[in-house]
Amino acid sequence: MSTQTSGLAIETAGLVKTFGETRAVDGVDLAVPAGTVYGVLGPNGAGKTTTVKMLATLLRPDGGEAHVFGHDIVREADEVRGRVSLTGQYASVDEDLTGTENLVLLGRLLGHGKSAARVRAARLLEAFGLTEAAGKQVKHYSGGMRRRIDIAASILNTPDLLFLDEPTTGLDPRSRNQVWDIVRAVVAQGTTVLLTTQYLDEADQLASRIAVIDHGRVIAEGTKGELKASVGAGSVHLRLRDPDQRPLAADLLRRVLDAQVQDESDPVALTARLGAAASRDTAAEQAARALGELARAGVTVDNFSLGQPSLDEVFLALTGHDTHASGSGRSHDPKDEVAA
């Protein structure tokens, strides 16, 4: 299998990792196109880090197989290691060194000469907005600065494939945006990024394809559009002039769109969720038809918007629970206790 023919940065088939009775990764199939951001989305304990560690050759799989740029992750682990870089959930730079010292040291370890390492470090620190903090010990960095220096460290040598394991967990919105910009810049230079996240909007912002995993299994995979389409065509949000007309409008939307209609707390607002089955017409066509019917029925619409379903809705539709409801790890299965 060669990258040239497959165009895949990562290809896995039936990948498994067990820890005692826990099947942390339970038969994962992935096909990650080269040159893109691929999102692996799942709640706590879904198996994201375990999958990444296997692909980065830090953990040996117990079953299945995986290739990175055509190289087997077990038999050709050295080749794989030469092409990938990992920014872990738990960062790896030295707390007692400054930003510059960390990057220069790592640069030297990667074989750069002293002055080349210094130049590269300074350039990365500047690109990541860390020039002012360059001389400070990393232990005094904020969470966002810490995450940025960690990503900087992992792209000292531009890797062909970069694993980012929950790069923005715990960051404030501004720091998240900075990390997102960095990810976009890294991909623009030709690096493939596999990004794990618990944040649906993060996958939505960055990834071109997404695998949703839960309990060690891929429960859905596709482009953002495909995933969203699988739960419906979108939502129509309306604000009416007259709250008394809301029951009439709701009734009409139900009939015309075959949609689930929900009253909002604002007495003039309502939302219609367009069903997947009803989406033979585009969402826009359905919405236009609904607006026409409302006008004919004498309902005055002051404001109207059409939104795509959020990935939150996707997760809820796929798993029956939201991303935070499955808690840490799998539900307890009594038959696990029979063994041994």
Ligand X SMILES: Nc1ncnc2c1ncn2[C@@H]1O[C@H](COP(=O)(O)OP(=O)(O)OP(=O)(O)O)[C@@H](O)[C@H]1O
Binding site for Mg ion (CB under 5 A): 48-49, 89
Three-class SS state of 129? coil
- Using CB under 6 A as the binding rule, whether residue 147 contacts ligand X is answered as no
Distances (CA, A) of 315 to 26, 32, 173: 19, 21, 22
CA neighbor of 52 nearest in space, from 92, 93, 24: 24
The interface mask with ligand X, positions 66-105, x = CB under 6 A, is -----------------------x----------------
Nearer residue to Mg ion within complex by CB, 169 or 310:
169
CA distance 37 to 163: 10
Count the residues of the shown chain that bind ligand X, applying the rule CB under 6 A.
14
Nearer residue to ligand X within complex by CB, 292 or 327:
327
Q: Are 175 and 143 in contact (CB under 8 A)?
A: yes
Burial class (CB in 10 A: 0-12, 13-18, 19+), 328: exposed
CA distance 90 to 183: 18
- Using CB under 6 A as the binding rule, whether residue 170 contacts ligand X is answered as no
Nearer residue to ligand X within complex by CB, 288 or 325:
325
Interacting positions 36-55 with ligand X (CB under 6 A): 42, 44-50
Nearer residue to ligand X within complex by CB, 196 or 245:
196
Nearer residue to Mg ion within complex by CB, 89 or 308:
89
Nearer residue to ligand X within complex by CB, 48 or 67:
48
Buried b (16+ CB within 10 A) or exposed e, 98-121: bbbbbbbbbbeeeebeeeebbebb
Rule CB under 6 A: choose which of 8, 9, 24, 104 binds ligand X.
24
The interface mask with ligand X, positions 180-199, x = CB under 6 A, is ------------------x-
CA distance 67 to 211: 17
Report the partner that residue 157 touches, choosing among ligand X, Mg ion, none (CB closer than 5 to 8 A by kind): none
Whole-number minimum distance, CB 145 to Mg ion, in Å?
21
Whole-number minimum distance, CB 199 to ligand X, in Å?
11
Q: Are 176 and 147 in contact (CB under 8 A)?
A: no
CA distance 137 to 86: 22
Binding site for ligand X (CB under 6 A): 19, 22, 24, 42, 44-50, 89, 198, 329
